[in-house]
Chain A
């Protein structure tokens, strides 16, 4: 049972354009969400997070949007750069009970120069 889903395994975007990565979740108890970026042969690195009390969080070129009613979050990268080419994972957690993070299957982003 995949509680966190990234339905697009890959995405290609031209340099300078916007990249939009999507993530859907099924558990309405999730209240904290993160995005991680992973380069080959490296561990995932934290990118940006959002709490369920917010619907948007920005950090430089990265913005995460949360739509709780749709159980959907998205990561926007503007403008996209070739160095952004990586696999992006979204993750979700519920604050009560266990603290483990449930990760999606990842989306491979390729930014074309």
Chain B
């Protein structure tokens, strides 16, 4: 089965611009989570969506937002980009909110590498 697809793979933006990243979960998965990975900070939780509703939100400023569509595809948006937003943004999908182990398939995409200059 197709995995989690994130587009684009690489992105270069200028400070002050905005950016939209896309994530298509595994077919049948209804939960999508977003994480930011930076050196030394590990994976920082951004938000989680289930059935088009944001269920959880991490400690990121309001410049970071997201949404989920009826087909479970999700987008995240970052407005007024700052240099510190440069990171790898990872999306993970799972069948439901609870399931994350091997049998339930909490699966990450390859990420979008965002560079802000």
Interface residues of A (CB under 8 A from B): 4, 6, 9, 32, 34, 36, 41-46, 48-49, 89, 91, 93, 95, 98-106
Q: Please name all residues of chain B whose beta carbon is closer than 8 Å to the beta carbon of A48 when the two chains form the complex.
A: 102
Residue of B nearest to A98 (CB): B56
Does B72 lie at the interface of the complex (its beta carbon under 8 Å from any beta carbon of A)? no
Interface CB pairs A-B, < 8 A, 23: A4-B42, A9-B40, A43-B6, A43-B107, A43-B111, A44-B43, A44-B90, A46-B106, A49-B101, A89-B43, A93-B100, A95-B98, A98-B56, A99-B56, A100-B33, A101-B45, A102-B45, A103-B35, A103-B42, A103-B45, A104-B42, A105-B40, A105-B41
Across the interface, A44 reaches (CB within 8 A) one of B40, B56, B108, namely: B108
Residue of A nearest to B105 (CB): A46
In the A-B complex, the 5 residue pairs with the closest CB atoms = A43-B108, A105-B42, A103-B43, A49-B101, A100-B56
Per-position binary interface string of chain B over residues 18-59, scored 1 when its CB falls under 8 Å from any chain A CB and 0 otherwise: 000000000000000101000011111100100000011010
Knowing A99-B55, A105-B41 are in contact, say whether A41-B110 is a contact too (CB < 8 A). yes
CA distance A101 to B43 in the complex (A): 9
Smallest Cβ distance from B93 to chain A, in angstroms? Answer: 11
Q: Please name all residues of chain A whose beta carbon is closer than 8 Å to the beta carbon of B4 when the two chains form the complex.
A: 43
B residues 73-104 touching A (CB-CB < 8 Å): 90, 92, 97-98, 100-102
Q: A43-B111, A101-B100, A103-B45 given; name 18 further pairs at CB < 8 Å.
A: A6-B42, A9-B40, A36-B108, A41-B110, A43-B109, A43-B110, A45-B108, A46-B100, A91-B43, A93-B100, A99-B55, A99-B97, A100-B48, A100-B58, A103-B43, A103-B44, A105-B41, A106-B43
Q: Please name all residues of chain A whose beta carbon is closer than 8 Å to the beta carbon of B45 when the two chains form the complex.
A: 100-103
Q: Is the CB–CB distance between A49 and B55 below 8 Å?
A: no
